[in-house]
Amino acid sequence: MSWKGEMRGVSTKQIYSCYSAFQFSETAMFELPGNVTTDGSACDKTSSTLKLNFGEGHSWSVNFTIKGKTYQADTITFSYNLSDTVVFPKSVVNDTLTVNVKPQIADVGMDTCYSCNSKDTIEAESVNQTLWNVLIQAFVINNSTSKNITSCAADVPSTPVAPTTHPTTTTPAAPVTNSSTAPPPTTTPTPTPTPTLPTPTTGEYSIKPDENSTVCLMANFGLRISLKSGEMNFEPNGTTSSGSCGVNSSQLVLTSNAMTITLTFTNDTKKFHLHALNITGKTSSGVAFSGANTNLSLWEAAVGSSYMCNKEQNYTITGLLTLYTFNLHVQPFGVNKGVFSTAEDCQADAENFIVPIAVGVALLVLILIVLLAYFIGRKRNMASSYETL
């Protein structure tokens, strides 16, 4: 499950005097951190609860229940501790408040993941909760995450309605033609060629757990996104990188002016690979797009080494989205002293060395054949000379 959320709470201060009472409020805004615990989460055959505990006594939970062949989210519960001086520095109240809301998450197929890349703000009492980039499967079948996606309404593009045409009953007059005048030639407009995109600029990205730590994830590549409506290059200029490094999972999040790309890597202590990819953004014409796949097995290499593929490669992420990579070099685990470890080349790069090696071997064999023919011919000439004498 990967998701992000923004939650806002209101802390209240009360000042009393013997004549009147005044109440003041201030707004606090904080984001769900990456380090959370899941104590209190539970699963059974008909319901499941995800509970995230974080900070100084804060928690966020969502409850799901099965309804026929689908499941739905019944309640989101958010509890926040006003005695947390980091989030509520001006609060004089030490209470822990709880807010319950009903989200608009329903009719999710049983063997599907619920996905919503668009921002969804849930308002209730004095708390606004904003969720985005949500990907969750509440009921997992056969211990494997489903490849099927149930998208929220905000992510589904609206289909334009074709204009209705009504046939006319008016019979047009037949054109009058002059037999002595030839009709003007019909010209076919020349189609405008689709512009060819330049090779994407190679970006260099890295992740540090904090300011005092060394780099734990490195990635260099150029990216091109192919959509049904066209193609666009990912521009590293002005892009910000964030993410996290873990023992078994690392994540790189790239945010540019046009799109946000989240890459999730996993390892099984022996090899690592790209496990999930999530892309959201807008085209140059302002059309929103999104695509996600949480069951990938790309860019595989041994843990402690890096993965490299300089040749252009393309990967089908969804039926409507294809990813192209250029000058790819990644290492999500075991980075030492901020430099890439020994690289494992992709098959496409390995094939580049086969041709020159084959040509070299062929030349060597040809030289040996020529030398062998020369020595055989010379030996025969010497033998014929002896016979003549």
Task: Provide the domain count of the chain.
Answer: 2
**147 and 7 in one domain?**
yes
Q: What local confidence, expressed as pLDDT, does residue 233 receive?
A: 95
Q: Among 135, 155, 175, which residue terminates a domain?
A: 155
**151 and 14 in one domain?**
yes
**217 and 134 in one domain?**
no
| 100-144 tens-digit pLDDT | 888 889 889 888 888 888 888 887 767 888 887 888 888 888 777
**Is the pLDDT confidence value at 83 over 60?**
yes
**13 and 82 in one domain?**
yes
230 vs 282: CA distance, rounded Å: 12
Model pTM? 0.46
Cα(first)–Cα(last) distance of the chain, in Å? 94
How wide is the angle at C-alpha 150 spanned by C-alphas 160 and 130, nearest 5°? 90
384 lies in some domain: no
Buried b / exposed e across 304-322, counting CB within 10 Å, b at 16+?
A: ebbbbbbbebeeebeeebb
216 vs 244: CA distance, rounded Å: 9
Q: What local confidence, expressed as pLDDT, does residue 101 receive?
A: 86
Confidence at 78, pLDDT banded by 50, 70, 90: confident
CATH number of the domain where residue 319 is located = 2.40.160.110
Which structural domain, as residue segments, surrounds residue 123?
2-155
